Structures are given as C-alpha cells and as structure tokens.
C-alpha cells in the first residue's frame, strides 16, 4: 500500500475507436499528484471512455497511459490500484455497509485488524461511522453514495476515479456531497479524475477542468482561466453561457479591431489583430444598460428587448440584434424600471471584457 504522495498520471495521445467511430481521439493530459481534475462535456463527448481507459476497462486503440512514469497501458484493472465511484453505487446488497467497505481490503488479503481499522477510518471520513451494521437498502441515496466513496478510498488509492457520482442525487444533496468530496480530496491527497456534464460542479470543485467535445479535448485550464479566457465558442457557451457575437473585420480603432456586427453596427474587439470574420464572447454579467462611452473603452449594441426575467438576486434580460440573441444579467435592476419587451435598448460592455475566440476545429 502506497501513500498518496504518488498519483502522477499522463495520457499520451490515447484514442479509442469502435469500428470506424472514434469514442476519443488523441487525448493527452499531464496530471500532477493530488490534483482534482474534472472531465467536463456534453453526453457522448468521451468522458467515460477516457475514465475507463485510465481504469483499464477500455483498452486504447492507440496511445499510452503512464502512472508515476510507468507505462500501465496493458496492465489489467485489478493491478492498477485505483479507487472508483460510479453514478449507480452498485453496493453489494447482501453485505452490510462495513462489509461493503471492507471488500477491497479482503480482496487484497489484508489482516483482519488492519481491515477493521481502515474500514472505521473510511466510514468516519464519509461521516457514516454509526452505519457499519446496516444493510445498504436501509440507506438513502446520498448515504449509499457515501458508502461507495468509502469503499473506493478504504485502501488509500493514489488515484480516485469518479464518473458522475452525484448524477442520481437531488440538488441539495448534490451540493452537500460536492463539499464532502472536496473535503475528502483534501484529507486524502489523492489525484482525482471526476466526470460531470454539469459546468457549475466542474467550476466549483476542480483544480483543472478538461473540456471535451466529440471525443477530443476542447480546452484545458483552471476554472477561472476557462471562464475568463474560453478559446472557442463551444467552450464559451458550455461554461457560463456566453454571448457569442460575430462580425467582419473593418480595420482598427484605438489599437482595437472594429467588427461589423450582423445588425450593421460596429463593435470593438478586445484585440488589435483580426482578419476576415471574427467571433467574440461576452459574459451576460459584463453587459450593462446604456450607451457605450468609447473614450472609456466601452462598446455596445442597440437591440430590441425580448424578455425580462426576475430572478431574485439578479434580473435577466434577453435582447435581439441582427438576428442574434444577447443575454444580460443585471444585478441591480428593478423590473419595474425596465422597458417593456419590444422596446429599443442600448447595451454596453468594456471592450476588454470580451474575448476574441478561435475558429472551431472540425472533425
């Protein structure tokens, strides 16, 4: 049994084909020990396949997987010593909670005294120390998932794999379990690969987020980096729901490129060098009401208000310009002060708050 100071994982261009279809293509990733890495993407983007390749249940068609520098691509799953938790907890129904948690240690033929000690520690970590004698069916969904988590960490793996572990839980329980999983990650120090299609979950839990699309990595970065500097329209929209505005380049103005928006209006891009058509992303909360002041680096669009939605802490509005929908989140707007849908409104934002996007790679 190793300590959790290990757990470096490298994926070196792993691909998996089923017939002619690619489940994943040339996925490369370098993960330092102890990181919390989330694979985020829509359904079918290759998250589970990537995780199963790390686990050893899927054999890559090409590429290598290294753990602590050693090539484990051909190693069977039971010799990889990884902890695993899936969406459906798959506890053994005929065993007690404690027996479930003890199982990985039994398989590893650890002495009875050590098993008892480690099972107790694992159940304490998931706050189920008083539930050892219960049958799994007598527990709630959240409790069962915590048993599954205890079973995955009981042998102190260097690497913990979790595939949508909270997907079957309701929102309150999910929020609570997110906090618990982060706490356990801190205590354990293991490298975690966490799969989700929920961007909020990815942003709030991870050190590193890997955004996947069509079996390939769309972007890798810290949560803030992905939110502030999305590389493509896909990442910008998938994380945080950005407005993506397109326009044709029309020279520059004050060191910034000028784009002719579909509505015919000029908007300032955040950068100077743009050729041909370009896309920029603007976050809804960076957009305000009013005419832009170019002297202060602001730009904007005149638009038609289409919808006002009261949301408590914020008010959301939707507007339309040149056939594109633009969403804005207004933290201090009173619904009563806003015009009716159908009215003309002016939207503004700081040009530097927008991000110039790269064209999408096509497969």
Q: Which residues bind to ligand ADP, rule: CB under 6 A?
A: 18, 21, 23, 41, 43-49
Dihedral sign for Cα 286, 287, 293, 298, please: positive
Is residue 48 at the binding interface for Mg ion, with CB under 5 A as the rule? yes
Q: Round to the nearest angstrom and report the end-to-end CA distance of the chain.
A: 43
- What is the number of other CB atoms lying within 10 angstroms of the CB of residue 32? 12
Residue 23 touches which member of ligand ADP, Mg ion, none, C-beta under 5-8 Å by kind: ligand ADP
Task: Provide the edge-to-edge strand list for the sheet that holds 21-31.
Answer: 21-31, 9-18, 62-67, 70-71
What is d(CA 345, CA 339) in angstroms, rounded to the nearest whole number? 8
Cβ atoms of residues 317 and 307 within 8 Å:
yes
Q: Which is nearer to ligand ADP, 48 or 100 (CB)?
A: 48
Q: With contacts defined by CB under 5 A, name the span among 44-52, 97-105, 106-114, 169-177 that binds Mg ion.
A: 44-52
Q: Which is nearer to Mg ion, 47 or 151 (CB)?
A: 47
Q: With contacts defined by CB under 5 A, name the span among 42-50, 75-83, 107-115, 272-280 that binds Mg ion.
A: 42-50
Cβ atoms of residues 300 and 311 within 8 Å:
no
Q: Which is nearer to Mg ion, 48 or 100 (CB)?
A: 48
Q: Which is nearer to ligand ADP, 18 or 342 (CB)?
A: 18
CB of 47 to Mg ion, least distance (A): 5
Q: Token digits for 167?
A: 């997907």
Q: Is 172 left (phi over 0), alpha (psi -120 to 50) or beta?
A: alpha
CB of 209 to ligand ADP, least distance (A): 14
Cross-strand partners of 15 = 62
Q: Which is nearer to Mg ion, 49 or 143 (CB)?
A: 49
Residue 41 touches which member of Mg ion, ligand ADP, none, C-beta under 5-8 Å by kind: ligand ADP
Residue 44 touches which member of ligand ADP, Mg ion, none, C-beta under 5-8 Å by kind: ligand ADP
CB of 361 to ligand ADP, least distance (A): 17
What is d(CA 14, CA 219) in angstroms, rounded to the nearest whole number? 16
């Amino acid at each position: 049994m190793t300590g959790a100071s290990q757990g470096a994982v490298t994926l070196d261009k792993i691909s998996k084909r089923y017939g002619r279809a690619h489940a994943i293509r040339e996925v490369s990733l370098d993960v330092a020990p102890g990181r919390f890495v989330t694979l985020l993407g829509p359904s079918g983007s290759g998250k589970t396949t990537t995780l199963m390749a790390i686990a050893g249940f899927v054999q890559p068609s090409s590429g290598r997987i290294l753990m602590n520098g050693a090539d484990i691509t051909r190693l069977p799953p039971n010799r990889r010593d990884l902890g695993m938790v899936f969406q459906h907890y798959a506890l053994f129904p005929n065993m007690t909670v404690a027996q479930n948690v003890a199982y990985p240690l039994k398989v590893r033929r650890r002495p009875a005294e050590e098993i008892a000690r480690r099972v107790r520690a694992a159940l304490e970590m998931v706050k189920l120390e008083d539930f050892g004698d219960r049958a799994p069916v007598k527990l709630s969904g959240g409790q069962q998932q915590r048993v599954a988590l205890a079973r995955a960490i009981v042998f102190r793996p260097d690497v913990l794999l979790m595939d949508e572990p909270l997907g079957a839980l309701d929102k309150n329980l999910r929020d609570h379990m997110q906090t618990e999983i982060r706490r356990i990650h801190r205590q354990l120090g293991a490298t975690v690969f966490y799969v989700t299609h929920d961007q909020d979950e990815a942003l709030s839990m991870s050190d590193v987020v890997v955004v996947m699309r069509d079996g390939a990595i769309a972007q890798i970065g810290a949560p803030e980096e992905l939110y502030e500097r999305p590389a493509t329209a896909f990442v910008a929209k998938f994380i945080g729901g950005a407005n993506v505005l397109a326009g044709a380049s029309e020279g520059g103005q004050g060191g910034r490129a000028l784009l002719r928006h579909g509505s015919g209006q000029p908007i300032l891009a955040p950068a100077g060098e743009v050729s041909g058509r370009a896309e920029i992303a603007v976050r809804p909360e960076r957009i305000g009401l009013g005419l832009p002041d170019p002297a202060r680096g602001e730009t904007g669009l005149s638009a038609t208000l289409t919808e006002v939605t009261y949301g408590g802490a914020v008010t959301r509005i939707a507007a339309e310009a040149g056939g594109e929908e633009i969403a804005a989140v207004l933290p201090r707007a009173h619904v009563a002060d806003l015009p009716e849908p159908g009215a003309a409104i002016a939207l503004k934002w700081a040009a530097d708050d927008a991000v110039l996007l790269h064209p999408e790679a096509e497969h």
